[in-house]
Amino acid sequence: MALPKPVLESLRRIVGDRHVIDQRHDLVIFERDASIADALPEAVVLPGSREEVVEVVKLAARHRIPVVPRGAGTGLSGGAITLRGGIALQLSRMRRILDVDPLTRTAVVEPGVVNKDLQAAAGRQGLFYAPDPSSQAACTIGGNVAENSGGPHCLYYGVTSNHVLGVEAVFADGTLAWVGGDAPDRPGLDLLGLLIGSEGTLATITRIKVKLLPVPESVVTLMAAFPTIETASQAVSDVIGHQIVPAALEMMDQVTIGAVEAAYHAGYPTDAGAVLLVDVEGLQEGCDELADAIGGLLDSNEAFNVRRAADAAERELLWAGRKGAIGALGRIRPNYYLHDGVVPRTRLPQVLHRVSEIGREYDLPVANVFHAGDGNLHPNILFDLRDRGALERVEEAGEHMLEAVVAAGGTLSGEHGIGIEKNAFMPWIFGPDDLQAMQRVKSVLDPEGLLNPGKIFPDPDHKNPKLRARVGLAAEAQWW
């Protein structure tokens, strides 16, 4: 299926001929994000300015064409997939850092700015942008806003919504409006909070104002090995239980450690059942004292090979291994399916044990690398798409893992979003009245349902009977 020729001609007039892609062999590049879903867009449009975004959205509204905003395609829940065809609105040309103000400690950027590029620009002013997804070398700020992304350091600093002051948004009818302001807390309806994490279903973001923080005087990184993932989980609970909140508290299991060491030689002990990485940031004296206290708690939970990074180079190597873990797992299998459930920290050992059981039941290797400090699990189911029936087994195993998360009092996503990966499971945690209220908000801002259709909410056009049979699970869950 293709867009009508007059529509394509109008799109080319708006953004230029070379910024409209409609040939099938070129569209294939845009049929995926980093999830296991795929769907071919009818056209890809690359606007270069907010004015062009406005005109494209107005044109799509007149012709009732779906529009799916798209960043770097690093999303993990299928949020950038053009499930019902239409236009993939690729925002990667809009990559200007418009302002970095060291006095107000703010920056204004376009949505296509790569997270790491913003970090570099802020760093030249002695500042930094706190949200740091593992994909920060590729992911864009616009995509981070759409998914409310987190990262290893969100334990202390918070996720994207805690660092965005305002956004400029193009709504479904082409209306351009600024939402938010300079203060983090504003009177009235929290429309900014509504847009952040809405996965492109309510508006297309064209500018973002973020707050920046001073680079800390000192950063101490600890690496600790544990005999089992259970002892490492207990250490996490012990640290937080002593009212210590590090800047980051990350865990990797033995499968992940082996793959990362082979790829990065980061210095993780391969005989460990699990490894914790801990960052402490602040004043030099306070960091040393806090790191010593954390080290004592790790020791009391059977930690071995505890060491402190000697310098910035060693610290960066330890974190390079953690942030490159997903790619390193390609040494084990060529494909992966990554989930994003969140559980109370005290339930980590129980849920991780069940995740391992599910992997064995389906004869699938599972690697765990996750934000242990806030209970945000990332089980990676590793597989080879070329194996007959592999994808079906992987999807079923992933469903059972999410069941375990919800049954333990958890929720479906911490930072990857719902997209199409988990929209069928929304009734597990939300009742009919909750879902209806959310859908009413969607219909007010997007009455024709043209912005990223088929995402977040259960989709009547793409129902799986097997999934519908499990909606009673929410009633059995033990909530936090």
Question: CATH code at 272?
Answer: 3.30.70.2190
Neighbours of 480 (CB within 10 A): 12
Identify whether the C-beta of residue 41 lies closer than 8 Å to the C-beta of residue 80: no
CATH code assigned at 179: 3.30.465.10
Q: What is the pTM of this model?
A: 0.92
The total number of residues written for the chain in this structure? 480
Q: Is residue 286 part of a domain?
A: yes
Angle at 116 between CA 113 and CA 122, to 5 degrees: 85
Residue 178 — φ and ψ, nearest 5°? -95, 130
CATH code assigned at 410: 3.30.70.2740
Angle at 260 between CA 254 and CA 262, to 5 degrees: 105
Q: Which domain holds residue 21?
A: 5-90
DSSP designation for 226? E
Residue 6: is its pLDDT beyond 50? yes
Identify whether the C-beta of residue 111 lies closer than 8 Å to the C-beta of residue 206: yes
Mean pLDDT, rounded, for 229-254:
95
Identify whether the C-beta of residue 71 lies closer than 8 Å to the C-beta of residue 142: yes
Residue 479: is its pLDDT beyond 90? no
Question: Any alpha helices (H) in 135-278, and if so which ranges?
Answer: 141-147, 154-157, 191-195, 229-241, 254-264
Mean pLDDT, rounded, for 158-183:
94
Q: What is the pLDDT of residue 182?
A: 74
Whole-angstrom distance, CA of residue 143 vs CA of residue 97: 15
For residues 323 and 342, membership in a common domain is answered with no
Chosen domain end from 286, 305, 328: 328
Q: What is the pLDDT of residues 189-230, one digit of tens each?
A: 889 999 999 999 999 999 999 999 999 999 999 999 999 999
For residues 196 and 232, membership in a common domain is answered with no
Residue 469: is its pLDDT beyond 50? no
For residues 193 and 253, membership in a common domain is answered with no
For residues 342 and 466, membership in a common domain is answered with yes
Mean pLDDT, rounded, for 312-331:
94
Q: What is the pLDDT of residue 480?
A: 27
Whole-angstrom distance, CA of residue 217 vs CA of residue 181: 29
Whole-angstrom distance, CA of residue 95 vs CA of residue 261: 34
For residues 261 and 299, membership in a common domain is answered with yes
Neighbours of 429 (CB within 10 A): 17
Instruction: Say if residue 211 is exposed, middle or buried (CB neighbours under 10 Å; 0-12, 13-18, 19+).
Output: middle
Report the percent of the chain where pLDDT is more than 70.
95
Q: What is the pLDDT of residues 384-427, one digit of tens each?
A: 999 999 999 999 999 999 999 999 999 999 999 999 999 999 99
Q: What is the pLDDT of residue 1?
A: 72
For residues 227 and 305, membership in a common domain is answered with yes
Chosen domain end from 182, 214, 246: 214
Residue 176: is its pLDDT beyond 60? yes
Q: Is residue 441 part of a domain?
A: yes
Place of tokens 């395609």: 73
For residues 349 and 323, membership in a common domain is answered with no
Task: Name 180's bridge partners.
Answer: 166
Q: What is the pLDDT of residue 463?
A: 52
Identify whether the C-beta of residue 373 lies closer than 8 Å to the C-beta of residue 246: yes
For residues 359 and 280, membership in a common domain is answered with no
Residue 17: is its pLDDT beyond 70? yes
Specify the long-range contacts of residues 115-124, CB closer than 8 Å, at least 24 apart.
115/139, 115/140, 115/141, 115/144, 118/210, 121/97, 122/212, 123/215, 124/100
DSSP designation for 15? H
CATH code assigned at 48: 3.30.43.10
Q: What is the pLDDT of residue 470?
A: 33
Whole-angstrom distance, CA of residue 68 vs CA of residue 65: 10
- Bigger pLDDT: 151 vs 477: 151
Q: Is residue 475 part of a domain?
A: no
Q: What is the pLDDT of residues 433-454, one digit of tens each?
A: 999 999 999 999 999 999 999 9
Q: What is the pLDDT of residue 351?
A: 95
Bridging pattern class, strands 67-70 and 87-90: parallel
Chosen domain end from 162, 190, 214: 214
Mean pLDDT, rounded, for 90-114:
98
When the pLDDT of each residue in the chain is averaged and rounded to a whole number, the result is 93
Q: Is residue 480 part of a domain?
A: no
Q: What is the pLDDT of residue 183?
A: 66
pLDDT band of residue 294 (cuts 50, 70, 90) is very high
Q: Is residue 477 part of a domain?
A: no
Angle at 412 between CA 331 and CA 213, to 5 degrees: 80
Q: Is residue 408 part of a domain?
A: yes
- In total, how many domains does the chain have? 4
Q: What is the pLDDT of residue 474?
A: 32
Identify whether the C-beta of residue 69 lies closer than 8 Å to the C-beta of residue 200: yes
For residues 231 and 357, membership in a common domain is answered with no
Residue 471: is its pLDDT beyond 60? no
Q: What is the pLDDT of residue 188?
A: 77
For residues 200 and 271, membership in a common domain is answered with no
Task: Residue 89: name the closest of 20, 148, 23 by CA.
Answer: 20
For residues 400 and 430, membership in a common domain is answered with yes
Q: What is the pLDDT of residue 473?
A: 35
Q: Is residue 372 part of a domain?
A: yes
Q: Is residue 75 part of a domain?
A: yes
Angle at 202 between CA 107 and CA 130, to 5 degrees: 30
Place of tokens 């069940």: 354
pLDDT band of residue 279 (cuts 50, 70, 90) is very high
Which are the contacts of 140, defined by CB distance < 8 A and separation ≥ 6?
71, 72, 91, 92, 95, 111, 112, 113, 114, 115
Whole-angstrom distance, CA of residue 269 vs CA of residue 252: 11
For residues 438 and 337, membership in a common domain is answered with yes
Identify whether the C-beta of residue 350 lies closer than 8 Å to the C-beta of residue 425: no
Place of tokens 């101490």: 220
